Chain A
Amino acid sequence: MEWSDQAAAEEACKGNQYAFRVLVERHSRAVFRLAYRMTGNEHDAEDLVQETFMRAWKQLHKFDGRAAFGSWLYRIAANCSLDLLRSRRSRKEQQPAAGDDQTNPSWLETVASEGPSPERLTQSSEIAALLPAALDELSASERAAFILRHYEGCNIEEIAKALGTGTGAAKHSVFRAVQKIRRSLEPAWGVTR
Chain B
Amino acid sequence: MKHLSDEQLTMAYYGDEDQQARAHLAECSECRVAFERLQRLLNELADYPAPERAASWEAEVWARLAPKLPARQERGEWFRWWMLAPALAGLLVVAFIGGMLMQRQRDVASGFSMTARQRALLAVMGDHLDRSEIVLAEVVNAAPGAADLDSERARARDLLADNRLIRQAARRDGDFRDAAVLDELERVLMDIAHAPADSSATDVEALQRRIENEGLLFKIRVVRSNIQKKEQNKGQPL
A16 closest partner in B (C-beta): B194
Task: Determine whether B113 belongs to the interface, using a CB cutoff of 8 Å to chain A.
Answer: no
Contact: B14 with A20, CB < 8 Å? no
Q: Mark A172-193, 1 if CB is under 8 A from B, else 0.
A: 1011001101100110010101
Partner-A contacts on B (CB < 8 A): 6-7, 10-11, 13-14, 16, 34, 37-38, 40-42, 44-45, 47-48, 50-51, 53, 57-59, 61-62, 64-66, 68-72, 74, 78, 190-191, 194-196, 198-200, 203
A24 to B78, CA, bound (A): 23
Interchain CB contact (< 8 A) of A15 among B42, B71, B195? B71
Contact: A182 with B53, CB < 8 Å? no
List residues of chain A with CB within 8 A of the CB of B6.
175, 179
CB contact under 8 A between A20 and B69, given known A1-B196, A42-B51? yes
Partner-B contacts on A (CB < 8 A): 1-3, 11, 13-21, 24-25, 28-29, 32-33, 36-37, 42, 45, 49-50, 53-54, 57-58, 60, 124, 127-128, 131, 149-151, 156, 171-172, 174-175, 178-179, 181-182, 185-186, 189, 191, 193
A189 to B10, CA, bound (A): 19
A78 to B166, CA, bound (A): 41
Contact: A21 with B66, CB < 8 Å? yes
CB contact under 8 A between A13 and B62, given known A42-B51, A191-B37? no
Smallest Cβ distance from B16 to chain A, in angstroms?
6
List residues of chain B with CB within 8 A of the CB of A18.
190-191, 194-196
Interchain CB contact (< 8 A) of B7 among A36, A175, A185? A175
Of B78, B195, B196, most A-chain CB atoms within 10 Å = B196
List residues of chain A with CB within 8 A of the CB of B16.
156, 171
A151 to B165, CA, bound (A): 48
Smallest Cβ distance from A110 to chain B, in angstroms?
20
Q: Is the interface of A mostly helix, strand, loop or mixed?
A: helix
A178 to B11, CA, bound (A): 10
Contact: A191 with B59, CB < 8 Å? no
A124 to B48, CA, bound (A): 11
List residues of chain A with CB within 8 A of the CB of B48.
37, 128, 131, 151
Interchain CB contact (< 8 A) of A14 among B57, B59, B72, B200? B72
Contact: B42 with A150, CB < 8 Å? yes
State the total of A-B contacts with C-beta under 8 angstroms. Answer: 113
List residues of chain B with CB within 8 A of the CB of A178.
10, 13, 38, 42
Interchain CB contact (< 8 A) of B47 among A45, A128, A171? A128
Give the top 4 A-B pairs by smallest Cβ distance, nearest first: A18-B194, A36-B50, A15-B72, A25-B58
A25 to B38, CA, bound (A): 38
Contact: B50 with A32, CB < 8 Å? yes
CB contact under 8 A between A193 and B34, given known A50-B65, A175-B11? yes
Smallest Cβ distance from B226 to chain A, in angstroms?
31
Contact: B62 with A21, CB < 8 Å? yes
A29 to B68, CA, bound (A): 20
A7 closest partner in B (C-beta): B196
Of A25, A178, A193, most B-chain CB atoms within 10 Å = A178
CB contact under 8 A between A128 and B78, given known A21-B62, A54-B68? no
List residues of chain A with CB within 8 A of the CB of B61.
24-25, 28, 49-50, 53
Smallest Cβ distance from A163 to chain B, in angstroms?
16
Task: List 7 additional contacts besides A1-B196, A42-B51; criterion CB under 8 Å.
Answer: A18-B195, A24-B65, A32-B50, A50-B65, A171-B11, A174-B14, A191-B41
A71 to B44, CA, bound (A): 26
List residues of chain B with CB within 8 A of the CB of A25.
58-59, 61-62
Smallest Cβ distance from A67 to chain B, in angstroms?
20
